[in-house]
Amino acid sequence: MTRAVPGLVAAAVLLLGAASCRPKGALTWVDAPDPIDGTYPLTMDLATPSRDGLRPLLVFIHGGGWNIGSLADHHYLEKIEAAAARGYVAATVEYRLADLDGVGGRPRFPWPAQSQDTRCAIRSLLSRRDELHIDPARIGTVGHSAGGHLALMAALGPRDEHLDGAWCPFDEDFAVAAVVSYAGPGDLRPLYGATEGWVQGFITRFLDLPRGTAPEEAPERYLDASPVHFLDGAPDVPVLLIQGLADTIAPPLVNRGFRDELQARDRAVELLELPGVTHTLDGDDGGEEADAAMWAWFEARLTP
């Protein structure tokens, strides 16, 4: 979910929501279903290390409220290169966004398209595991905001056609070994009530609900897109939640509640709270601390 000045939100959506303005990756890896055009090509950017032997895989997932954004956001093009220098095969991946109009102005790609695309991207990379020397036992997912939510869903959600997409041409199974979420919500229900009004519109758009639909009015739809809903059957994947205490877009209470749900099930979780830091978690706004924690988390769990 991109941080924006409320008075500029409409302009930001207009500018960032135009598909032609979104940077595409160098590698087209699949044609996803599109009810208007038939297919929607999805891209990624990939960086590989020079070292020999099996390598861990790190998948970066951008934010933007599930509606806007691109795989170049959050310095991810630079970060995949930094990851490769550390010995990872690293990718930043594109997924279908909910801002594109379908029939009658409804979202062309509502949930769970975003889950299907990110999971299919991981399977696509694993289909090249011999070529890229990927160790399938050492996969990490990381994302910011909506991307953090999708990183959590890739790690914790069940393997089924609804979240995976029966259309995905890659049948490689996968298990995430560690996940890092920068301000990504693990539960959309408290997020809706605690966030800013313009973000509420992003949430209902993404869920294909009428604007203003609160969680109590569509509980099954909110739960279906919430990682917390799947915890009882989920694997025990180590989770790092990074949270700015001055975040008004995904306020601290959301990740505190998700942390509590994980701890109640004796799951491995850490919550890093950064005083005075907002939702961006970038640069001087908590970026250095967040990135250092992210690298340390994966180094401890994905490197031999």
Give residue-wise pLDDT tens across range 203-216. Answer: 999 999 999 999 99
In 61-196, which residue ranges form alpha helices assigned H by DSSP? Answer: 76-85, 113-126, 129-132, 146-156, 161-164, 188-194
Radius of gyration of the chain (CA): 18
- pLDDT computed for residue 51 by the predictor: 84
pLDDT at position 11 is 29
Predicted TM-score (pTM) of the model is 0.93
Q: Domain for residue 179, yes or no?
A: yes
Is 226 domain-assigned?
yes
- Number of other residues whose CB lies within 10 A of the CB of residue 300: 10
Which positions ≥6 away from 130 have C-beta within 8 Å?
none
Residue 230 DSSP SS3:
helix
Does any domain span residue 57? yes
Question: What CATH number does the domain containing 211 carry?
Answer: 3.40.50.1820
Question: In this predicted structure, what is the pLDDT of residue 23?
Answer: 78
The amino acid at residue 15 is: L
- Identify the pLDDT of residue 22: 66
Residue 14 lies in a domain: no
89: in domain: yes
Residue 9 in any domain: the answer is: no
For residue 258, the surrounding DSSP H or E stretch is helix 252-264
CA 154, 158, 163: angle at the middle one, nearest 5?
A: 65
Spell out, as residue ranges, where the chain has pLDDT lower than 50: 1-21
Amino acid at the residue 229: H
d(CA 174, CA 128): 13
- Kindly state the tokens that stand for 229: 């809903």
- Residue 231 CA to residue 48 CA, distance in Å, equals 32
- pLDDT at residue 227 in the model: 98
For residue 10, tell me if it sits in a domain. Answer: no
In a domain, 8, yes or no: no
Provide the number of structural domains found in the chain: 1
pLDDT at res. 10? 32
Domain that holds residue 272: 22-302
